[in-house]
Amino acid sequence: MKNLLLVSLVALTGLASSSSAQLVEEFGDPLGEWRNRWLAQNSNLQNYYVASGNADENNRGNNPTGLWISDGVNSGGCDVLFNSAFGASLTSIEFGIESFTGITIRFYDMAGVEFNSVAASGGNFPLEHDTIIFSGVSSNGISRIFFDGSSTEGNTSIDNVRANVVPAPGMAGLVAVGGLMAIRRRR
């Protein structure tokens, strides 16, 4: 019986470590609430207007649904960096975009290797964000997305961001330890 429980626990641990969860960010109203959710908490992405000196996190300018992007530097391109623990858990990310300047979107894995790049241009009003979906899929996590071009910040908007993450490998160990403790308590 004890061996059967241990085998079951190991199997469940394997399932827990291989399953993924989908995260979604849609920049709803009030806009400033996105700062308390997963994308803002795990990256340096900012609202262009706030990065430009306007303190109102709800200021979306002429963008009714998405976010005019900035990395806080406002120097041409926009380099969105994910914190290392979160980036290592990312297996894919996709988003809708409107870009009023020609840019190339570059996706980088945790080793800093570019694994996908896509050219984007042709923003238009109304900002719908669902006409073009860009995505990156990596078996080595995603460390950053670089929106490469001049005047990207304030002229590029994203919306409908979806990311798939897997639990950290250490979580499987914690599940196993918890299961073993439960077995031990039953005795």
Q: What is the pLDDT of residues 103-162, one digit of tens each?
A: 999 999 999 999 999 888 776 666 665 545 667 789 999 999 999 998 999 999 999 999
The answer to whether domain 20-166 has CATH 2.60.120 is yes
pLDDT for res 187: 53
Q: Positive or negative, the Cα torsion across 104, 92, 79, 114?
A: negative
Task: State the residue for tokens 């005795």.
Answer: 187
- Which segments within 121-178 are labelled E, that is strand? 133-137, 144-148, 156-165
pLDDT for res 8: 35
Q: Give the predicted TM-score (pTM) of the model.
A: 0.78
Inform me whether the pLDDT recorded for 9 exceeds 50.
no
